[in-house]
Structure 1
Amino acid sequence: MNKRLMALAVAGALAAPLAASAEGTHVTIFGRLQAEYATVDIDGFNAQTAVADDALQSRWGLQIAEDLGAGLRAIGRIEYSLNPGGGEDRHLAREQWVGLGGDQWGELKFGRVQSVLKDFAGGHSIDPFAYTSLHANGSGGLMVSSNNGYGSGDAGFVSSAVRFDSPVVEGFSVAGLLMPGDADKNSPVGVPFTTIVGDPTYAGGENGEWDFQVAAKYSGQFDAVGVDVFGAYSRDNINKWQKSLGSKDEQIWRGGAIFSVADFRLRGQYEYVIDANPYGGAASCTHASAFGDANGSISLDGGRGQCNSAMNPNGNGSLWIAGADYTIGNTMLVAQGGMAVAKSTAGGAFGPQLKRNVENITIGVIHNLSRRSSLFGGYQRVWVKDRNIATDTDRNVYSVGVRHDF
């Protein structure tokens, strides 16, 4: 009994300063847990099956807010990913920022934030199967999440950034993001101890250069028809070394819309990539978006890899997705398809690259058990026509999973 009382006393003593420091500040613990039984079967290779959350949809975090008066509040967010079913350590940083918010002027965030192309203008909001093995990212249809986070993929987080989101006025809203010259690449000359002097892959942009994204959208209701229309532009500046090897600043234009009538939705998105950055840009993949090997490497086929949205290095290309869904009670039926077209390029740092087309169709279902719990499953077929390799790696993807929010 004495030991129990002592333990309670110690716990109370430790909790006291926490309660005092939290006075006036509202802290919310939130999270999501997801696990899939998913198979990626690539033609000519062994099928890869696992019970896990390779897309890193699972996460936990803290949402922080303090009322400063006069309609102003201090805000912050800390968030880490999880992988239920996976043995490796996947506690990766997601959003981590601090900022100010106001009902009249919006929110301003400083730190590691989500890409505007991920959560504001299309991206995950256009794909019901985002963060699952059936996602459009990596299978053609949406831009892959590149190393700088500027894509719309699962790892679309931008470090060292400033982001602004406006309030909604008469259905209109805007968002913008700034990052100082590839600030996530901290070495001015390359990787320490590298044998390649001045390795441009890990060197940042010039002083004064700002990578940025801007987006706008409109949401309205016209009788029985709901309309959401959006557009966005992204620019990823490169450094002098990269330019000397034939690369140019990467640009991405995007547009799309969602139309809804009662329980039926029709949605689509198109984006055009100009001068895909081969150094962590639209011409590359990341582990999270590609569902790569267990050791984290990304090869051509990548184990369970699904990396078919990347453009040819230094080349142009386009991606589109179109889909429809219908909700019956607590169940949503989903059908969608997409395509990625990587145009031929004469070279640059990587030599000639031939045209590559990737097409996919996905059918599936999402059933809500409650407001917080759901089941999902479906099938996806991907056709790859890559003129750079002798054998096309078409694939079948099967998945069934469960998700719970808390």
Structure 2
Amino acid sequence: MKKVLCGLVAVTAAASASAQSNVTLYGIVDNGLQYETGLPKGNVFGAQSGGWAQSRFGLKGAEDLGAGTQAIFQLESRLNTQNGTVANGTFFAGQATVGVRNDTWGQLKAGNMGSAEISQFSGDVDPQQTKKYAIGTLVRGRIFSQAGNGIEYLSPTIGGFTLQGQYDLTNSPKWNAGDPGSAPSQLGTSTGLGSAQGRSDGIKLSYQGSGLFWQATYDEIRDPNGQFSNVYLTSRSILTGASYAFGPVLAFVGYQHLSAPDASIAGYFGEATPPALPAGTTLPTAVNHVWVGAIWHTTPALAVSGAVYHANANNGNGNGTLYTLGANYSLSKRTLLYTELAYLHNSSTSNLGLDSGLFGPNTNNDPINGSPTSNNPNYGKSQFGVITGIATQF
């Protein structure tokens, strides 16, 4: 009888161990104040959510399945904590995934990749770590693409190398095209789960060792018709960058090439007649983007960052150069104060903006009460911006 009881206890203990699970509640609350010059109707002083990192709220968990395998899930909302609304269109636009993970063969998950679309990992080679004025500014937010209906594989690290790949299904009977039952959210591109965005996919290879981090990424975002019709929204992207630690200094360098061979008026403006562009300018089909910078950990609590970004668009669309200087001061392991200054210089046919406005000129339909159609400065005009805020993680 004792042997039977001992056996039952052992079986129960084993079952309990194999079913062990954990759920983690996590998030970021980030609010600040910003001042920017050169906007369509003058200068602006206002509140900003997510100047250091986009505010978010999420749940993630893992269940031990035995033999080194776990079932995993993650649900994440992106938030505007100035007005309490969800960002990016839907409640779990940040991520809604489930999958399995094994230390030997890697991780496989499926669902809404959302803010984990593979281009967003570009922040790993950004000296400003995707703060307000950073790697996404001169490409009008292209690195913040989103994708739903996807699957992802992440390899284990082997010899310092890690491979990650994503493929996002369109749920459409037409190859590459968007879901015919859903409407595009803006100018034919997705900002969240369930839009009419066409197929997206990407692959990333990275290496880390002896103070060096290197990353190379290729990804594609297609419009609802399966085309690359807007270099800043629905395009191919090739990006590579590296960082290297010199004592307390972490130096960065990077390059990105965007390509949209199917550039069209509808892809950029969603209409048959485009707004007036500078003389000799047509729709851009390619952008080259380079950057260099560094983070200096002056003390355990204080980090100072500086970077220069330069982007050049073809077909007469000119170039822009962004100069940035930032600082983070840690009040604790979870809470920090931050500030960043930025100056953006445009050539005569460029109107890149600090707020990553859509391609095209500004149009003020109502100069007294109306709003401009984008956050771009006028062509050839510069902008200055400064933001400061506080962020806490939990």
Shared fold (TM-score, shorter chain, > 0.5): yes
1:52·1:86 contact (CA, 8 Å) conserved in 2?
Answer: no
Question: Which amino acid in 2 is paired with 1:176?
Answer: G
Shift of 1:52: 2.9
Cα RMSD between the aligned structures?
A: 3.5
2:178·2:225 contact (CA, 8 Å) conserved in 1?
Answer: no
* Match of residue 94 from structure 2: 94
List per-residue Cα deviations over 1:237-280 (Å, max 9, x = no partner). 556685899xxx94221111111111111101101112266589
**Structure 2 vs 1, CA of residues 366 and 47 (structure 1 numbering), >3 Å: closer, same or farther?**
same
* Match of residue 382 from structure 1: 344
* Match of residue 367 from structure 2: none
* Match of residue 60 from structure 1: 57
2:291·2:307 contact (CA, 8 Å) conserved in 1?
Answer: yes
Write the distance in 1 (CA, Å) between the matches of 2:330 and 2:78.
Answer: 23
1:323·1:336 contact (CA, 8 Å) conserved in 2?
Answer: yes
Write the distance in 1 (CA, Å) between the matches of 2:154 and 2:208.
Answer: 15
2:229·2:264 contact (CA, 8 Å) conserved in 1?
Answer: no
List per-residue Cα deviations over 1:160-188 (Å, max 9, x = no partner). 11111111111011110101248693217
**Structure 2 vs 1, CA of residues 241 and 380 (structure 1 numbering), >3 Å: closer, same or farther?**
closer
1:200·1:242 contact (CA, 8 Å) conserved in 2?
Answer: no
* Match of residue 27 from structure 1: 23
Give the alignment partner of residue 309 of structure 2, picking from 317, 320, 338.
Answer: 338
Write the distance in 1 (CA, Å) between the matches of 2:309 and 2:207.
Answer: 24
* Match of residue 51 from structure 1: 47
1:275·1:313 contact (CA, 8 Å) conserved in 2?
Answer: no
* Match of residue 248 from structure 2: 263
* Match of residue 372 from structure 2: none
Write the distance in 1 (CA, Å) between the matches of 2:255 and 2:336.
Answer: 29
1:96·1:111 contact (CA, 8 Å) conserved in 2?
Answer: yes
Of 380-389 and 77-86, deviating more is: 380-389
Structural mapping, 1:116-155, within 5 Å:
116-119=118-121, 123-130=122-129, 132-138=131-137, 140=138, 143-145=139-141, 151-153=142-144
1:356 aligns with 2:338: no
The alignment partner of 1:96 has SS state of: strand
Shift of 1:134: 2.5
* Match of residue 286 from structure 2: 316
Write the distance in 2 (CA, Å) between the matches of 1:261 and 1:282.
Answer: 44
**Structure 2 vs 1, CA of residues 270 and 128 (structure 1 numbering), >3 Å: closer, same or farther?**
closer
TM-score by length of 2: 0.71
The alignment partner of 1:85 has SS state of: coil
* Match of residue 163 from structure 1: 152
Give the alignment partner of residue 42 of structure 1, picking from 29, 38, 43.
Answer: 38
**Structure 2 vs 1, CA of residues 130 and 277 (structure 1 numbering), >3 Å: closer, same or farther?**
farther
Write the distance in 1 (CA, Å) between the matches of 2:41 and 2:26.
Answer: 39
1:318·1:340 contact (CA, 8 Å) conserved in 2?
Answer: yes
2:228·2:263 contact (CA, 8 Å) conserved in 1?
Answer: no
2:72·2:99 contact (CA, 8 Å) conserved in 1?
Answer: yes
The alignment partner of 2:123 has SS state of: helix
The alignment partner of 2:237 has SS state of: strand
Write the distance in 1 (CA, Å) between the matches of 2:47 and 2:349.
Answer: 34
1:82 aligns with 2:79: yes
**Structure 2 vs 1, CA of residues 79 and 100 (structure 1 numbering), >3 Å: closer, same or farther?**
same
The alignment partner of 1:47 has SS state of: strand
Shift of 1:157: 2.9
Write the distance in 1 (CA, Å) between the matches of 2:328 and 2:202.
Answer: 32
Write the distance in 2 (CA, Å) between the matches of 1:42 and 1:279.
Answer: 29
Write the distance in 2 (CA, Å) between the matches of 1:363 and 1:281.
Answer: 37
The alignment partner of 2:25 has SS state of: strand
Structural mapping, 1:168-187, within 5 Å:
168-181=157-170, 185-187=178-180
Shift of 1:343: 0.5
Unaligned runs of 5+ in 2: 1-15, 190-194, 270-274, 276-280, 351-360, 362-377
TM-score by length of 1: 0.69
Percent of aligned positions that are identical:
20
* Match of residue 110 from structure 2: 110
Shift of 1:366: 0.9
Shift of 1:217: 1.2
2:260·2:285 contact (CA, 8 Å) conserved in 1?
Answer: yes
Write the distance in 1 (CA, Å) between the matches of 2:327 and 2:296.
Answer: 10
Write the distance in 2 (CA, Å) between the matches of 1:244 and 1:171.
Answer: 37
The alignment partner of 2:149 has SS state of: strand
**Structure 2 vs 1, CA of residues 191 and 404 (structure 1 numbering), >3 Å: closer, same or farther?**
closer
Paired residue total: 320
Unaligned runs of 5+ in 1: 1-19, 146-150, 193-198, 285-299, 301-310, 345-353
The alignment partner of 1:355 has SS state of: coil
1:396 aligns with 2:384: yes
2:236·2:260 contact (CA, 8 Å) conserved in 1?
Answer: yes
The alignment partner of 1:104 has SS state of: coil
Of 317-326 and 380-389, deviating more is: 380-389
Shift of 1:115: 1.8
* Match of residue 405 from structure 1: 393
